[in-house]
Structure 1
Amino acid sequence: MAKQPMLKFVTVDKEMPEKRPPNLRREDFGEIYGEYARDKASEQAGRCSQCGVPYCQSHCPLHNNIPDWLKLTAEGRLQEAYELSQATNTFPEICGRICPQDRLCEGNCVIEQSGHGTVTIGSVEKYLTDTAWDEGWVKPIAPSVERPESVGIIGAGPGGLAAADMLRRAGLQVTVYDRYDRAGGLMTYGIPGFKLEKDVVMRRIAQLEAAGIEFVQNCDVGSSISFDAIRGKHDFVVIATGVYKSRDLNAPGVGAAGIVRAIDYLTASNRKSFGDEVPEFESGELNAKGKRVVVIGGGDTAMDCVRTAIRQDAVSVKCLYRRDKANMPGSQREVANAEEEGVDFVWLSTPKGFAGGDAVDGVMVQKMRLGQPDATGRQSPEIIEGADYVEGADLVIKALGFEPEDLPTLWGCPELEVTRWGTIKANFRTHETQIPNVYAVGDIVRGASLVVWAIRDGREAAEAILEKLAVSGAVAAE
């Protein structure tokens, strides 16, 4: 009788891929986790309890069929496991690296709740797709038939690329317009290499280019080309711009030199990793080397900034957050990695202003305590009077989140309806806006969110476009 490959969670402990020691990973921007060996991936996948109601799957925005591809992995059927994971996820190797699994699939794993330690879903997903690339299981995109319909996608981030992938596979003609010189959006210029090495993203971009998708780079809609021109050129338009307008502070001294936006800081660092000339980095404006760095914020972007500053050889790196560790919005796994690498978290602290005149040399900090819960159920921070102090700083990075740009004004399209938050109004299922055949996906609809949600939106919008074409084709045939 064959040995049962599953239900090993009682006898086999949770084991992540080997993580490089902090003293070594501080020295470069390489990913910090290694790769599973085949036997280890099989063993860890075999810890899955094969729940009748898989909470991991229901808490995955893409509803990936996680239990089934874990079972296939445990049985050594890796190509089938990869194909099953790819069926619902356009970029599984990216999600396996950067999804906050501790808040999504792994955080809702039944055996985690029972105290046995979660199945390492993200690491197995990463292993499967990396193996698929190595073994040649990732096939070129080759539509079985070419269709005449054309789609223009504005934004080459995860939402736009997911839509482009599905639409091109169906034979549509796809053009992607993007403001940057490389596709990928925040996957390319926002997320650091220690979480997502850039060759992983570029490999997918190359696959899409080889499929016949046209990329128009350095294209700022509203100035390089009008929104009306894109609408006139294509049968359908998908808006996937993301949100790039940084939230700001209203505090004395905020305009001083040395106080910078997180997106500018991370983009400069990522451009250096590509070998680009980055004058702001070379001048020291966006370089933490030899500086006392203070990062303001508690989300994943703040974690990216503090860990980047460590690798740039900062003298010290501190993160100010107005709530405590338990209420931090960023991934707890990322917080732990940052602490291991030498980041000092200053909890229950918020900036009151900045010292130093023309150039910052300190952050005026107010200490906080948690009071009564607010409307969301989280305890509201309250200022502790008389507990202010000055935290020395030569570089202050504002990682306070992002807001949408005013697209109707920038694009001269007042009929593009937005919410009171400035995000685009779109149907929650089809993602079509009030303008016929114009769709919107990802952060420009949701507000700043996760890559995996953008992928879901892009796939759903593509499905809606294909469904509309199928319906119109059926009517035309009659």
Structure 2
Amino acid sequence: MGKTTGFLEYEREEAKERNPLTRLNDWKEHTEQMDDKTLHEQSARCMDCATPFCHIGMDIGGMTSGCPIHNLIPEWNDLVYRGKWKDALERLMKTNNFPEFTGRVCPAPCEGSCTVEISSPAVTIKNIEQAIIDKGFENGWITPRIPAIRTGKKIAIVGSGPAGLAAADQLNQAGHSVTVYERAERAGGLLTYGIPNMKLEKEIVERRIQLLTQEGIDFVYSTEVGKDITADQLKEQYDSVILCVGAQKQRDLVLEGREAKGVHYAMDYLTGSTRGLLNENVPAHQQIDARDKDVIVIGGGDTGADCVATALRQNCRSITQFGKYPKLPEARTPDNMWPELPNIFTMDYAYEEAEAKFGKDPRQYTVQTKKLVSDKEGNLKELHTVQTVFTTDEEGKAVLKEVPGTEKVWPAQLVFIAIGFEGTEQPLLHQFGVKATNQIIEAKHGDYRTNVDGVFAAGDARRGQSLIVWAIQEGREAAREVDKYLMGSTVLA
């Protein structure tokens, strides 16, 4: 594919980023578009590897390897190399409903399993994907696809995140009438409210929602299923229901001083920030400003990094992020071999910005928070920690132990808890009568049926907190199963 010797002739190049100190003055995306010459060369690096592991889409070693939606990556890389951009767009859209999202915020497990990655840096698949879809919109190649025939079947989808949107898109194209219920003021779920503008500008999400609306999908906003409309009403009015409500129950810290004023869930902070930028009415618990404050983020993942970037733009006085694990290695270790996702040290956009502003990476490793301390008015003033080390017990299990003499006190007026999500919120599930284990809906992958006839589940609500590409994959597959349930057979792939 591409140029047979391209991976030998060209070095990997990624999309350039705007100057860190400059971009801290706005909320625009931190990357710039690649020019056509660079894209031509980068697509040429896609080698004729015979077995393209880049789109295997499976879990290996507890991490995703390859593309879960099985993008035809070598095919559209070859078409980009030959300058056939419109054909590349057609191949990309065959498997991916929303490349403008994945091309920006997917962690690119496809690149970790790229065959070039065995001995050299992987092909820049993610950047090329974004370039294809962006050209599609810029050149007017993407227009509303109005289904020619309607089946008369009505489907309700609860939740408008990537899983719900993918299911809605597929079912609408199959000719069914689809209504998406969303409790927020806008569609998109975490695409809109959880991922900051710096990674995904909201105009990009809104553009896709407008397109889906033009294609015939109905969106009902500011309507919470289970409160504003009941589960029984949905089941009576629709032939099938798909629950794509996400896994938004945030995991909490249980420690002394948790009740201090100034301690917040990370997602409340990010959502409030985005709602403010969108000029929405922000509830009191989400009105959080880091200006002139010492900020600590507890949790070493992407959500924590987004909190770092947001606090920097609000002109915090200092920013620190705690992680419980050691610093990752610079290169793959023997127990993290290809085609697994590389578990290596990287500098996320947020950390580059913090380093540019404060002169150091904000991350602190193997840190355990012991307690939070408030002043007389109940406002957070400091945080106490201790360093830890992982050892093994007599049974060979990993055990976290504190290191004596490493206690430390950190000034802090804001703390954000970013340690993941426990699962989906339960009241809605009880109303539908669907079974759940550990706050995750019981519905087999590939089938997506719950224990309630006609009610299906997909995305994080079914599999737990995961990647956007898994959400899209599940939304597509759930749509196929619903089509089969309603029609006896399916026209969906």
Q: TM-score, normalised by structure 1?
A: 0.92
Q: Counterpart in 1 of 2:59?
A: none
Alignment of 1:308-457 (within 5 A): 308-326=310-328, 335-342=347-354, 343-357=361-375, 358-372=378-392, 379-407=398-426, 409-410=427-428, 412-413=430-431, 415-419=433-437, 421-457=438-474
1:414 Cα offset (Å): 6.8
Instruction: Give, in whole Å, the separation in 2 of the partners of 1:414 and 1:238.
Output: 11
1:111 is aligned, of 105, 109, 116, to 116
Q: Counterpart in 2 of 1:292?
A: 294
Indicate how the Cα distance of structure 1 residues 473 and 458 shifts in structure 2: closer, same or farther if over 3 A, else same: closer
Q: Deviations over 1:397-419 (max 9, x none)?
A: 01111122443x44543731111
Instruction: Give, in whole Å, the separation in 2 of the partners of 1:263 and 1:355.
Output: 23
1:276 Cα offset (Å): 2.9
Q: Counterpart in 1 of 2:230?
A: 226
Give yes or no for contact 2:294–2:411 (8 Å, CA) kept in 1: yes
Indicate how the Cα distance of structure 1 residues 279 and 430 shifts in structure 2: closer, same or farther if over 3 A, else same: closer
Instruction: Give, in whole Å, the separation in 2 of the partners of 1:264 and 1:302.
Output: 12
Instruction: Give, in whole Å, the separation in 1 of the partners of 2:221 and 2:303.
Output: 25
Q: Deviations over 1:220-267 (max 9, x none)?
A: 121111111111110010000001111111111101100011111001
1:13 is aligned, of 8, 11, 14, to 11
Indicate how the Cα distance of structure 1 residues 277 and 424 shifts in structure 2: closer, same or farther if over 3 A, else same: closer
Instruction: Give, in whole Å, the separation in 2 of the partners of 1:359 and 1:68.
Output: 57
Instruction: Give, in whole Å, the separation in 2 of the partners of 1:76 and 1:277.
Output: 46
Q: Counterpart in 2 of 1:68?
A: 75
Indicate how the Cα distance of structure 1 residues 303 and 334 shifts in structure 2: closer, same or farther if over 3 A, else same: farther
Give yes or no for contact 2:2–2:77 (8 Å, CA) kept in 1: no
Instruction: Give, in whole Å, the separation in 2 of the partners of 1:9 and 1:301.
Output: 34
Indicate how the Cα distance of structure 1 residues 374 and 79 shifts in structure 2: closer, same or farther if over 3 A, else same: farther
Deviates more, 1:31-40 or 1:251-260: 31-40
Indicate how the Cα distance of structure 1 residues 438 and 371 shifts in structure 2: closer, same or farther if over 3 A, else same: same
1:464 is aligned to 2:481: yes
Q: Counterpart in 2 of 1:274?
A: 278
Indicate how the Cα distance of structure 1 residues 334 and 181 shifts in structure 2: closer, same or farther if over 3 A, else same: farther
Instruction: Give, in whole Å, the separation in 1 of the partners of 2:200 and 2:248.
Output: 20
Deviates more, 1:356-365 or 1:450-459: 356-365
1:381 Cα offset (Å): 3.0
Indicate how the Cα distance of structure 1 residues 346 and 338 shifts in structure 2: closer, same or farther if over 3 A, else same: same
2:21 is aligned, of 20, 23, 26, to 23
Q: Counterpart in 1 of 2:39?
A: 41
Give yes or no for contact 2:159–2:244 (8 Å, CA) kept in 1: yes
Q: Counterpart in 1 of 2:335?
A: none
1:50 is aligned to 2:48: yes
Indicate how the Cα distance of structure 1 residues 418 and 277 shifts in structure 2: closer, same or farther if over 3 A, else same: closer
Instruction: Give, in whole Å, the separation in 2 of the partners of 1:15 and 1:186.
Output: 29
Give yes or no for contact 1:5–1:75 (8 Å, CA) kept in 2: no
Indicate how the Cα distance of structure 1 residues 50 and 275 shifts in structure 2: closer, same or farther if over 3 A, else same: farther
1:472 Cα offset (Å): 6.5
Count of aligned residue pairs for this structure pair? 464
Indicate how the Cα distance of structure 1 residues 184 and 321 shifts in structure 2: closer, same or farther if over 3 A, else same: same
Instruction: Give, in whole Å, the separation in 1 of the partners of 2:36 and 2:293.
Output: 43
Instruction: Give, in whole Å, the separation in 2 of the partners of 1:139 and 1:374.
Output: 63
Q: Counterpart in 1 of 2:103?
A: 96
Q: Counterpart in 2 of 1:129?
A: 133
Q: Deviations over 1:419-461 (max 9, x none)?
A: 1x11000021121111122110001111111111110000001
Q: Deviations over 1:29-84 (max 9, x none)?
A: 21111111122211111111121111111111111110111001001010010110
Give yes or no for contact 2:448–2:457 (8 Å, CA) kept in 1: yes
Q: Deviations over 1:104-147 (max 9, x none)?
A: 111111112212x1110000000000000011111202102111
Indicate how the Cα distance of structure 1 residues 327 and 163 shifts in structure 2: closer, same or farther if over 3 A, else same: farther
1:382 Cα offset (Å): 2.1
Instruction: Give, in whole Å, the separation in 1 of the partners of 2:183 and 2:318.
Output: 34
2:214 is aligned, of 210, 217, 242, to 210
Deviates more, 1:123-132 or 1:377-386: 377-386
Instruction: Give, in whole Å, the separation in 2 of the partners of 1:333 and 1:200.
Output: 30
Give yes or no for contact 1:442–1:458 (8 Å, CA) kept in 2: yes
Instruction: Tell me the secondary structure at the aligned position of residue 328 of structure 2.
Output: helix
Instruction: Give, in whole Å, the separation in 1 of the partners of 2:29 and 2:463.
Output: 29
Instruction: Tell me the secondary structure at the aligned position of residue 6 of structure 2.
Output: coil
Indicate how the Cα distance of structure 1 residues 222 and 432 shifts in structure 2: closer, same or farther if over 3 A, else same: same
Instruction: Give, in whole Å, the separation in 2 of the partners of 1:214 and 1:473.
Output: 22
Instruction: Give, in whole Å, the separation in 2 of the partners of 1:443 and 1:56.
Output: 23
Root mean square deviation, CA, Å:
2.5
1:372 Cα offset (Å): 2.7
Alignment of 1:179-190 (within 5 A): 179-190=183-194
Indicate how the Cα distance of structure 1 residues 124 and 163 shifts in structure 2: closer, same or farther if over 3 A, else same: same
Give yes or no for contact 2:483–2:490 (8 Å, CA) kept in 1: no
Instruction: Give, in whole Å, the separation in 1 of the partners of 2:394 and 2:69.
Output: 30
Partner amino acid for 1:365?
T
Q: Counterpart in 1 of 2:357?
A: none
Give yes or no for contact 1:6–1:74 (8 Å, CA) kept in 2: no
Instruction: Tell me the secondary structure at the aligned position of residue 160 of structure 1.
Output: helix
Give yes or no for contact 2:158–2:181 (8 Å, CA) kept in 1: yes
1:466 Cα offset (Å): 1.7
Partner amino acid for 1:30?
K
Instruction: Specify every segment of 5 or more residues in structure 2 that has no aligned partner in the other structure, as ranges.
Output: 57-65, 331-340, 355-360
Instruction: Tell me the secondary structure at the aligned position of residue 38 of structure 2.
Output: helix
Indicate how the Cα distance of structure 1 residues 433 and 291 shifts in structure 2: closer, same or farther if over 3 A, else same: same
Indicate how the Cα distance of structure 1 residues 450 and 128 shifts in structure 2: closer, same or farther if over 3 A, else same: same
Instruction: Specify every segment of 5 or more residues in structure 1 that has no aligned partner in the other structure, as ranges.
Output: none
Instruction: Tell me the secondary structure at the aligned position of residue 192 of structure 1.
Output: coil
Deviates more, 1:211-220 or 1:379-388: 379-388
Give yes or no for contact 1:348–1:381 (8 Å, CA) kept in 2: no
Give yes or no for contact 2:244–2:458 (8 Å, CA) kept in 1: yes
Instruction: Tell me the secondary structure at the aligned position of residue 105 of structure 1.
Output: helix
Instruction: Give, in whole Å, the separation in 1 of the partners of 2:29 and 2:393.
Output: 38
Identity %: 37
Partner amino acid for 2:488?
V
Give yes or no for contact 1:35–1:127 (8 Å, CA) kept in 2: yes
